[in-house]
Structure 1
Amino acid sequence: MTKLRKKKSTYHISILAILTAIIILQDFIPMLGNIPIGPLSLTTLHVTVIITAIVLGPVDGAIVGGVWGVLTWIRAFVFPSSPLAPLVFVNPLVSVLPRIMIGLVAGWTFIILFKFFKHLLSSMVIASILGALTNTILVLGFIYIFYHTPEVAKLYGVNVSNLFKALSAIFVTNGLAEMVLAAIIAPMIAMPLRKIYQKR
C-alpha cells in the first residue's frame, strides 16, 4: 500500500512539474502566453492554472498560479510584457495574489460543484469561468485601488477621473475574452487529463 501511495505521489509531482514548466514557457515565449493589446496584455496563462486546479486540486493550482505571479512580478522589473507592467505589476498584490487565487477559486469551485451535482463538464466550465473572473476582477480592482494616478491613466489614454470607466471597458473586452477562452479550452484539456490521472 505504501509503495502504491509513493508511486501515486511521484506521478502527481511529475504532472505538477510538467504544468509548471508549461506555464513558464507560456510566460517567456512571445505571443504564447501574453498577447500585447495596447497598454495591456491578453493572457492565456490562466487556462493552465485552471487546468491544474481542476486536475490536481486547489493547492496545486495555487502553486502554479503563484509561479506565474512571481514571474509576472520579476518581469515587471527586468522584461515587462506591456508598458503598464513596470508601473503596476511591481506590487505583489497585483501581480502575485490574483494568480494564486485563480487556482484556489477554480479548484474549490470544481470540488464543491462536482460533489453536489455530479456533473463533470458543467462543474469544470463554471470553475473555469470563476477562475478567469477572479484574475480579471482582482488585477483590475487592485490597479484601480492602488494606482489611481495620472501616470497609469495616461497609459490608458484617459483622465484619472475616467480610469474606472477605462478599467470597466477592459473587463468587458479582455476580461470576457479570457473568461470565454478558459470556459472552452480548460475543460477540453482537463477532462481527459483528469481521467488519465485518476487511472494511475
Structure 2
Amino acid sequence: MESKDKIFKQVLIALFGAIIIIQNFIPFLGYIPMGPLNLTIIHITVIVTALVFGTKYGSIIGGIWGIITFIRAFVWPTSPLAAIVFVNPLISILPRILIGTVAGWLFKFLTLRTGKKYLSMTVAAVAGSLVNTILVLGQIYLFYRGHSMALYHIDIQALLPYLLGVIATNGIPEAILAGILAPMIAKPLRKMMIDRIK
C-alpha cells in the first residue's frame, strides 16, 4: 500500500513538472506579455507544489522552471531582456528554486505556530512570489546596473526607480494572484492526498 502511495505521489509531482514545461512554451499559460516585460503566473504552480508536497518537491519544480528559463534565454527568450539577464543562473535558476523553498518552509512553520492552514498557505504563497521578484530584480540591479543604458535605455540613477516600478506593476500583482489562487488549488489537493493515504 505504501509503495502505491509513493508511486501516486511521484506521478502527481511528474504532472506538476509537465505543467511547468507546458506553461513555459504555450503563450498565456505561463506568461502574460505586457510590453517589454511579462506578468508571470508559472510561480503559482511551484507554490502549489510546495504547499501540497513540501519544500523539497516545491524546490525541485522551481528548479525545473529555472533550468527552462536559463535554456530559453539562449534559444527562445520570452522578452528582449531575458536574452541578456537570464543567461546568469543566479538570476534564472536560484530565485525559482527559492520560491518552493520559502513557500514550503513558511507554510509548515506558520501552520505549526497558528494552526490556520488556509491563512498560512496565503502568506506562504505571497512570500514565495515576492522572493522570486525581489531576487530576480535585485540581482539584475546588482549585476547589470553598469549596463543600464544599453539594457533599459535609462541612466543608472534611474535604474533603481525603474526596477521598483516593475515590482509595483508586476511583482505585487503576481504576489496577490498567488495569494488568492495557490491556496484555492492547494487545499483540495492536500485533502485528496490525505484521503488517499487513509
Q: TM-score range by the shorter chain?
A: over 0.9
1: CA distance between counterparts of 2:80 and 2:35? Answer: 8
Q: 1:56 aligns with which of 53, 58, 64?
A: 53
Q: Which residue of 2 aligns with 1:42?
A: 39
Deviation larger for 92-101 or 157-166? 157-166
Q: 1:173 aligns with which of 165, 169, 173?
A: 169
1: CA distance between counterparts of 2:188 and 2:152? Answer: 41
Q: Which residue of 2 aligns with 1:191?
A: 187
Instruction: Return the offset for 1:88.
Output: 0.2
| TM-score, with structure 2 as normaliser | 0.96
2: CA distance between counterparts of 1:121 and 1:156? Answer: 40
Instruction: Return the offset for 1:153.
Output: 3.9
Q: Please say if 1:5 is aligned against 2:2.
A: yes
1: CA distance between counterparts of 2:175 and 2:4? Answer: 35
How many correspondences in the alignment? 196
Q: Which residue of 1 aligns with 2:156?
A: 160
Check the 8 A contact 1:39/1:155 in 2, yes or no.
no
Instruction: Return the offset for 1:156.
Output: 3.0
- Gaps spanning 5+ residues in structure 2: where? none
Q: 1:25 aligns with which of 18, 22, 26?
A: 22
Q: 1:123 aligns with which of 120, 144, 156?
A: 120
Q: 1:173 to 1:114 in 2, by over 3 A?
A: same
| TM-score, with structure 1 as normaliser | 0.95
Letter of the aligned partner of 2:183 in structure 1?
P
1: CA distance between counterparts of 2:143 and 2:106? Answer: 28
Q: Which residue of 2 aligns with 1:65?
A: 62
Q: Secondary structure at the match of 2:98?
A: helix
2: CA distance between counterparts of 1:197 and 1:149? Answer: 49
Q: Please say if 1:90 is aligned against 2:104.
A: no
Q: Which residue of 1 aligns with 2:141?
A: 144
Instruction: Return the offset for 1:198.
Output: 1.4
Check the 8 A contact 1:39/1:156 in 2, yes or no.
no
Q: Secondary structure at the match of 2:32?
A: strand
Q: 1:145 to 1:108 in 2, by over 3 A?
A: same
